């Protein structure tokens, strides 16, 4: 393939022989210093119409020096890594997601590996409500095509203001069926396994085939309990899992990402949260309010889900490190700020610590 610049890269001469390559998708910068404007002239002419030898002859330099420059640009994601042969599945549909991944790639082969990892991964979304339904839709639009949908509930009229994919005509239908139909309207080539049962009844253990990622968006009986169930399923198999978060009191919780063997596990978070949330009974009385209902807004659910889906893309493709490993955040609607709290991996954790029951598990 004749070399050409990535369409997302801008070339900026900064003076004093410095050329900056700005990667629009990731806002990353790569700079080169040269004694003259030869490199600037070369890169401005990388339009895919000339070979390395032709570029060298045009600018009066050796093919070896051009090859060295191109190799450096390729390793840093500056060149267009999409070859005309187009062995990228569904490229015409997903050109923009592929373009995004391209900024993280070091070669066409690397780009293909990331895209194939996304397309072939099987993702379990547990809980198809205000966050889970949005997460599933975001992932379908990004290119994920294999899902396991877990939720025992039916669509209710009160769901429609914040849960994506459901319509008035779906009221009374199982959520797994209604959402599967909605996802199919995005893409007809999806593979979806439907599990309309409670998480506590062990649906994950009955999933047929491999699962590459589990995203927990279920809150019954509590998010803490469902996260523990998901963790107990994922840890022995080294399956990455994400706590999808939720919404409460103008704060949107952005949950943690767990990579078994590398990050703090659900149990690490649980122990440290118990410490942080201790209430002094001499100062504060905790009220028990039966059937408590809190407000919820679709935009907050969508914001939370978008961040969860972006974490999922990073975990599945390896394009970047997880941002929410060993931490979780809260989005404050009043300030529009996200504040994060760090949680460390505990050496004495009874799950992932040195002598924990899941010690040594991971991929």
Would you state the pLDDT for residue 360? 73
DSSP 223: H
Residue 251 has pLDDT above 80, yes or no: no
Would you state the pLDDT for residue 156? 97
- What value does the mean pLDDT take over residues 263-277? 91
Reported confidence tier of residue 285, pLDDT bands at 50, 70, 90: low
What is the CATH number assigned to the segment(s) 9-96? Answer: 3.90.930
- pLDDT tens-place string over residues 9-68: 999 999 888 999 999 888 889 999 888 888 899 999 999 999 999 999 999 999 999 999
Beta-sheet strand order (sheet of 9-15) = 9-15, 18-23, 28-33
Minimum mean pLDDT range among 51-55, 255-259, 273-277: 273-277
Residue 224 has pLDDT above 60, yes or no: yes
Minimum mean pLDDT range among 154-163, 224-233, 241-250: 241-250
Q: What percent of the chain has pLDDT over 90?
A: 67
Would you state the pLDDT for residue 282? 62
Would you state the pLDDT for residue 200? 85
Reported confidence tier of residue 276, pLDDT bands at 50, 70, 90: confident
Choose between 253 and 295: higher pLDDT: 253
* pTM, 2 dp: 0.87
- Sequence ranges of the domains in the chain: 9-96, 121-342
Backbone angles phi, psi at 206, to 5 degrees: -100, 0
How wide is the angle at C-alpha 178 spanned by C-alphas 175 and 181, nearest 5°? 140
333 three-state secondary structure: coil
Q: What is the DSSP string of 257-297?
A: EE-TTTS--HHHHHHHHHHHT---TTT------TT------
Cα(55)–Cα(39) distance, integer angstroms:
11
Cα(233)–Cα(231) distance, integer angstroms:
5
Look-up: residue for tokens 């640009």? Answer: 73
Q: What percent of the chain has pLDDT over 70?
A: 92
Reported confidence tier of residue 268, pLDDT bands at 50, 70, 90: very high
Choose between 107 and 191: higher pLDDT: 191
How close are the terminal C-alpha atoms of the chain, in Å? 35
Cα(59)–Cα(79) distance, integer angstroms:
19
- What value does the mean pLDDT take over residues 169-178? 98
- pLDDT tens-place string over residues 105-149: 888 899 999 999 999 999 999 999 999 999 999 999 999 999 999
Q: Average pLDDT over the chain, rounded to whole? A: 90
- pLDDT tens-place string over residues 305-362: 999 999 999 999 999 999 999 999 998 888 999 999 999 999 999 999 999 999 876 5
47 three-state secondary structure: strand
What is the SS3 string spanning 160-180?
Answer: CCCCCCCCHHHCCCEHHHHHH
Would you state the pLDDT for residue 277? 73
What is the CATH number assigned to the segment(s) 121-342? Answer: 3.40.50.720
């Amino acid at each position: 393939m004749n070399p050409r610049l990535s369409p997302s890269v801008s070339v900026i001469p900064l003076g004093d022989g410095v050329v900056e390559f700005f990667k629009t998708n990731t806002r990353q910068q790569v700079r080169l210093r040269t004694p003259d404007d030869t490199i600037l002239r070369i890169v401005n002419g990388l339009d895919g119409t000339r070979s390395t030898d032709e570029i060298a002859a045009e600018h009066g330099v050796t093919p070896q020096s051009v090859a060295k420059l191109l190799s450096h640009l390729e390793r840093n994601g500056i060149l267009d890594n999409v070859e005309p042969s187009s062995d990228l599945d569904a490229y015409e549909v997903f050109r923009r997601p592929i373009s995004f991944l391209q900024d993280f790639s070091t070669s066409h082969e690397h780009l293909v590996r990331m895209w194939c990892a996304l397309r072939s991964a099987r993702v379990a979304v547990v809980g198809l409500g205000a966050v889970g339904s949005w997460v599933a839709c975001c992932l379908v639009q990004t290119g994920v095509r294999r899902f396991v949908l877990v939720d025992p509930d039916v669509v209710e009229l009160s769901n429609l203001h914040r849960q994506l994919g459901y319509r008035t005509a779906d009221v009374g239908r199982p959520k797994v069926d209604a959402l599967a139909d909605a996802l199919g309207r995005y893409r007809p080539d999806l593979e979806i396994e439907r599990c309309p049962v409670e998480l506590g009844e062990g649906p994950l253990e009955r999933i047929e085939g491999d699962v590459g990622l589990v995203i927990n968006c279920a809150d019954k009986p509590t998010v803490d309990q469902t996260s523990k169930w998901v963790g107990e399923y994922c840890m022995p198999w080294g399956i990455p899992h994400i706590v999808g978060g939720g919404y409460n009191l103008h704060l949107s919780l952005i949950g943690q990402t767990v990579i078994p063997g590398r990050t703090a596990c659900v149990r690490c978070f649980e122990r440290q949260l118990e410490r942080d949330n201790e209430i002094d009974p001499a100062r504060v009385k905790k009220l028990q309010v039966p059937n408590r209902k809190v407000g919820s807004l679709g935009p907050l659910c969508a914001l939370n889900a978008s961040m969860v889906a972006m974490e999922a893309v990073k975990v599945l493709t390896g394009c970047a490190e997880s941002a929410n490993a060993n931490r979780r955040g809260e989005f404050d609607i009043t300030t529009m700020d996200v504040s994060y709290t760090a949680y460390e991996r505990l050496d004495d954790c009874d799950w992932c610590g040195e002598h924990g029951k899941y010690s040594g598990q991971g991929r």
